Structures are given as C-alpha cells and as structure tokens.
A = this chain, B = another copy of it.
Amino acid sequence: MDAEIIAVGSELLTPYRLDTNSLFLTAELNKLGIRVLRKTVVGDDREHLRDAFRLGIERAGIVISCGGLGPTEDDLTRETVAELLGRNLKRNEDILRGIQERFRKYGRAMPDINAKQAMVPEGAVALDNSRGTAPGLWMEAGGKIIILLPGPPTELEGLFQKEIRSRLARLSGNLRLYTRDLRVTGLSESDVEQRVAPIYTQYSGTETTILASPGEIQLHPRIWSEDEVAATKLLDEMAKRFTLALGENMFSTAGETLEEVVANNLLEHQATIAVAESCTGGMLAERLTNIPGSSSYFHGGVVSYSNDLKTVWADVPKELIDAKGAVSPEVALAMADGIRRRTGATLGLGVTGIAGPGGGSADKPVGLVHISIADEKGPREHAFRFPGDRDRIRRQATQAALDMVRRHFLYTTRAKA
C-alpha cells in the first residue's frame, strides 16, 4: 500500500519552519509496510487544500495530513476535506464534552471557537486525542483511506500510536520495510561511497542511503519484503560485508551515537574519563554528559580557554605554552595527562586547536586540532585538519576525540585477547 503525506500550515511555507512530522509518520508507515510516495506542504488555503487532497486521493491508497485542525478561522482542513468528499459536518456531543472537560481541568471555560473541533464529517471515525483538543479523523471513501491528524508532534504521535497504527496494521499485508542503521567515522563520504558501492549494487531489490554529517557517515540499507527471515538474513549479510569494507571505522551497526558507544565502552571497562578542552569549548563534555547516567563514568571537564587556566586546571607548564604555543601537540599531550592526574580518572582527553574564523596562520591554519588521550601508560596525540566553518570544525573535533576513546578500548581489548 502507498501513502501520501500532506503537511498543512502557512507557517510551513515560511523560511522558519519545516514539516518534521513526516519523518515520524514515514518511519511508522514503513514499519507497517506502507511506502510514502510523495509529500506536499500547503498553506491554510481552502483551494490549495482541496487540490492537495483531491490529487492525493487520486494517486495513493492512503492520505495522511497533519495540521489545520485547530479552533481558529485559519484552520480549514476538516471543513475542506468534508466538502471535497461531499460529507456534512455534524457535532459530536462526546467529543464536545471531552474538550469542555479538558478546559475545566485547567480551570478555564471552553472558548466558543473550540466547539468547531467537535464537528465530525458524516461517516468519519473521530479518534481520541488525549494530548490536545483536536480529535483525529479517519475516513474511507472509494476504497481510499483519509486520515486527518493535528499538527503538534506530541498530539500526532500519541494519536498515531494509540489509534492509527492498529487500524492500518489490519489493512496492510505482510510486506514490511526492513532496515539497518550503520555508522562510520574517520572516513569521508566519498571514501565510504567508494568502498560500499561495489557491495550494495550487487543487491538488487535493496536501496542503500548514505547520509553524511560532520565526522559521521550513516549507511541505511533497506529492503521491502514479505519474508522477515529472508530480509533479515540479507541485511545481516550486507551489514557484514559493509563492516568488512569499512573496518574499524564502523562504530555501530545498531544506530548508536558515538557518545553512546563510548559510554558503553567506559561502563564495560569500569573506566572513568575527564576532559580538558579548548577550541571545542565544552562541546566534548556536553556530548559525554548528554547520556543519562553519565555521572558514573564522567568525572568532569575543564574548558581552559585562557592559557593561564590550562596551567591552573590541567598542569600544563607555562613555559611549554610559551615555547610551543597553545595549539601544539605538546600542549595537547600535557592537557590530557594533566586533567587525568588532576581528576584521578582512568582516561584523560586534551583538545586544543583553531576553530576559526580568526586566529589561523600559515603553519597553524584554521581547522588544525591536536587531540590527545592519556591513560596510565601516558598520553598519545593525533593532529587533525578539519574543513568547514567554526561549528563544523568543533563538531568534527569532538567526534575525533570520542573516536580516540573508542579505538583505545578496541586496541587494549585486542591486545589482551
């Protein structure tokens, strides 16, 4: 079965807002074996709305819209679709009571305009929205299914999980989308493409999407199949061959973030970590602590922007900074080692570099970052030259630093084996 998604709202046609609901809907529909063939964004305009629904119903088996079910005059989805299908709107007293009840709970009387949200097209099923006042609507017409959902993501997601999924599951066959989320770091997009294209092109009937962000490439092989066992086997095989082709650069075959992988490494080895960062300005600590429970492995970090604080907080000798410069392999090594000793953590990380746009020179250009990792045997250092603007350079630097921690465990585990 095929679906089209219509995102409704004039704000979605401004430079400020994107329709993000369709990502959630696509993921959920795909799991049910339903392909999304087209997405349309239209404003709160009666004629454009009618047009979008008319075309959607002509072309696809399922049309799902989000937005335009609010109480204001701008919200036209319900009325327009009812008119298009030639259905009268009738007030549903249960829904009206529910909306009134909702307002009462918050100590307010229901404004008159909200009564409009209790209007239901003839023959439609009103779907209970426990997180807002606009019910979802499920309609069938000429063998097609039309689903109207409210725009706020929590309401839409709640309604989908509670009311839509089971209804669609009953209708869809055994065809399902099977997919993997493989993640790679330390290689460029074209490096990855070059290594994996000879593999995925051998698998007809599958599609592999390659998605790049600073310091990370994701591979998403996908297959539509009615046979779960066969699809799983095929994706296992593809994932195995991708892993062989990409080697240690593959850090997850299960869609984990690099900080999640590092967190698991640290927990598994009962190790702790502390960081001294300069150009990344706190982003490295932020990533290590965005994981619930990170206090069990993260001791702390310093953002030693000034040279003084590199000395005070991470024991970097002032003479060393004077002699080599704050952005140097030597200072990175001293930062990693110093912060490790100061905090008593198993591992120390030191990051110093030039994030730009200013501060670069011929021998120390913007994008140059020295990263060091220290354990009980001492610190090791690696120099990187990252492309892009300040934000991209900082992101790539944190990714490289986390990756050095991951590889540290990879090699020590291997050495012990």
Residues of A within 8 A of B (CB): 10-20, 22-24, 26-27, 30, 35-43, 48, 52, 55, 207, 209, 211, 218, 220, 222, 275, 280-290, 292-295, 298-306, 309, 312-313, 342-343, 356-358, 390-391, 394
Contacts and interface: CB of A to CB of B under 8 A. Distances in A.
A240 to B, nearest CB: 22
A22 B13 CA distance: 9
Given A43-B37, A295-B306, A313-B313, A17 B285 contact: no
Given A13-B39, A295-B305, A299-B305, 12 more contacts: A11-B209, A13-B35, A37-B43, A37-B48, A280-B286, A281-B288, A281-B289, A281-B290, A282-B289, A282-B301, A295-B306, A301-B303
Contacts of A290: 281, 390-391, 394
- 5 A-B pairs with the lowest CB-CB distances in the bound complex, closest first: A281-B289, A282-B285, A15-B27, A282-B282, A282-B286
A284 to B, nearest CB: 7
B48 A16 contact: no
A306 B285 CA distance: 13
A295 B294 CA distance: 28
Contact of A14 (B41, B220, B287, B302): B220
A278 to B, nearest CB: 9
Contacts of A342: 312
A13 B42 contact: no
B281 A303 contact: no
Given A300-B303, A302-B313, A292 B358 contact: yes
B309 A300 contact: yes
B38 A222 contact: no
22 contacts: A10-B207, A14-B26, A37-B43, A37-B48, A38-B40, A38-B41, A55-B55, A281-B285, A282-B283, A282-B288, A282-B289, A286-B286, A289-B303, A292-B358, A292-B390, A293-B358, A300-B303, A300-B306, A301-B302, A302-B302, A303-B303, A306-B343
Contact of A211 (B16, B207, B211, B218): B16
B295 A16 contact: no
A211 B20 CA distance: 14
Protomer copies: 2
Contacts of A27: 15
A168 to B, nearest CB: 16
A295 B280 CA distance: 12
Nearest to A301: B303
B26 A13 contact: yes
Given A295-B306, A300-B305, A37 B18 contact: no
A306 B41 CA distance: 48
Contacts of A289: 281-282, 303, 305
B37 A40 contact: no
A30 B15 CA distance: 9
B303 A302 contact: yes
A117 to B, nearest CB: 17
A299 B303 CA distance: 9
A285 B281 CA distance: 6
Nearest to A39: B41
Contacts of A275: 303
Given A23-B15, A40-B39, A292-B356, A304 B309 contact: no
Given A55-B55, A209-B17, A286-B281, A42 B48 contact: no
Contact of A309 (B55, B286, B299): B299
Contacts of A300: 302-306, 309, 313
Contacts of A293: 358
A285 B394 CA distance: 13
Contacts of A211: 11, 16-17
B313 A14 contact: no
Contacts of A48: 37-38
A370 B233 CA distance: 52
